[in-house]
Amino acid sequence: MENKEKYALVTGGTSGIGKELAKLLAANQYNLILVSRDQSELQLVAEELQETHQVQVHTILKDLFRRESPFEIYDEVKHMGFVVEVLVNNAAQGAYGEFKDIDINRQLDMIQLNIGGYVTLTSCFLQDMLSRGTGKILNVGSIAGEAPGPLQAVYHGTKAFINTWSSSIQYELKDKGITVTALLPGPTETDFFNKAEMNESRMVQDIPHADPEKVAKDGFDALMSGDAKIISGFMNKVQVGMANMQPDSMAAASMYKQQKPVDRKED
Ligand SMILES: NC(=O)c1ccc[n+]([C@@H]2O[C@H](COP(=O)([O-])OP(=O)(O)OC[C@H]3O[C@@H](n4cnc5c(N)ncnc54)[C@H](OP(=O)(O)O)[C@@H]3O)[C@@H](O)[C@H]2O)c1
């Protein structure tokens, strides 16, 4: 099958890493299905990619905080008759602050988006991939999933889930013609920290952020090669290596220092 007949579905394809992944997929002649919550952003990105790369771009306006949304996306794609050869699970959010202070409904929404959305879309599209014996899945995890993250406790937990779940299903599917790739970015220059209300953190103020174009290229290359996992950036590889060797209490203290507000002096 030519790439032009194939579709890649990207959740959160209107901003940051997801938008850069969508650009790379379009440049490689994949038609696209883009999902997010902002119709005008979806329209803008769709027009840009259609004009630049002469591919088909279908947009789906959906809030992935809702448990039903991934099922509705799958139904719409099937109704349109599109064959999803590449699934990019990318849309996720963080929330900044101590666990005890963050509204539980916000935390549950995040768990649904960051875990439920990925797992449900994968479960739905995987059945079709298995029937065809082909398919590629990219799960955007994070180096945050490799260490405890005080002040982003639930976010780190969701990314730990994605990192290990992705490796588990990669192993289960390795002889079935379907590749599963986990992309683990470190801090990256996107709207993520703004949405997470993290602008006062050291992570935003003092720590250098990667270019989302570079992060997406690492993920895209790994996806196309069928690699199981890519940690984007040399320093992020070092940080993950160190976190894996440290006791959790030390890794938590180190993450706290990175994530605390710049003006907090007590520790
Ligand atoms: N930026 C970083 O430092 C960093 C580091 C490691 C991992 N990551 C991971 O990279 C991925 C992409 O994040 P990013 O940094 O590119 O963030 P971003 O610029 O904020 O983009 C997030 C995308 O997800 C969409 N989205 C958010 N909430 C949604 C919802 N409820 N329903 C549907 N779509 C939703 C957004 O569109 P709307 O808001 O318009 O819906 C947007 O298109 C995430 O998995 C994130 O965890 C980011």
**127 Cα–ligand 1 center, Å:** 26
CATH number of the domain within which 68 lies: 3.40.50.720
CA–CA distances in Å: residue 212 to residues 99, 165, 264, 265: 28, 24, 29, 31
Interval 6-52: pLDDT, tens = 999 999 999 999 999 999 999 999 999 999 999 999 999 999 999 99
Residue 74 lies in a domain: yes
Please work out whether the CB of residue 72 comes within 6 Å of at least one atom of ligand 1. no
Catalytic machinery residues: 155
The residue whose CA has the least distance to atom 43 of ligand 1 is 12
Interval 193-245: pLDDT, tens = 999 999 999 999 999 999 999 999 999 999 999 999 999 999 999 999 999 99
Position 1 confidence tier, pLDDT thresholds 50, 70, 90: low
Q: What is the pTM of this model?
A: 0.97
Please work out whether the CB of residue 195 comes within 6 Å of at least one atom of ligand 1. yes
Residue 10 lies in a domain: yes
Please work out whether the CB of residue 93 comes within 6 Å of at least one atom of ligand 1. yes
Residue 266 lies in a domain: no
**Contact predicate 228/181, CB 8 Å:** yes
> Pairing state of beta strands 229-231 and 7-11?
unpaired
* Structural domain count, the chain: 1
Residue 228 lies in a domain: yes
Query: Which residues, 6+ apart, have CB-to-CB distance to 198 below 8 Å?
Result: 94, 96, 152, 204, 259
Residue corresponding to tokens 């992935």: 64
SS3 4: helix
Domain encompassing residue 64: 3-259
Pocket test for ligand 1, best of 90, 146, 183, 194 (most atoms within 8 A of CB): 90
**253 Cα–ligand 1 center, Å:** 26
At 73, which amino acid appears? I
Interval 56-94: pLDDT, tens = 999 999 999 999 999 999 999 999 999 999 999 999 999
Closest approach atom of ligand 1 to CA 155: 47
Residue 267 lies in a domain: no
Please work out whether the CB of residue 192 comes within 6 Å of at least one atom of ligand 1. yes
Closest approach atom of ligand 1 to CA 89: 45
Pocket test for ligand 1, best of 20, 87, 137, 188 (most atoms within 8 A of CB): 188
Residue 264 lies in a domain: no
Residue 25 lies in a domain: yes
Interval 136-194: pLDDT, tens = 999 999 999 999 999 999 999 999 999 999 999 999 999 999 999 999 999 999 999 99
Residue 137 lies in a domain: yes
Q: Report the DSSP beta bridge partners of residue 178.
A: 135
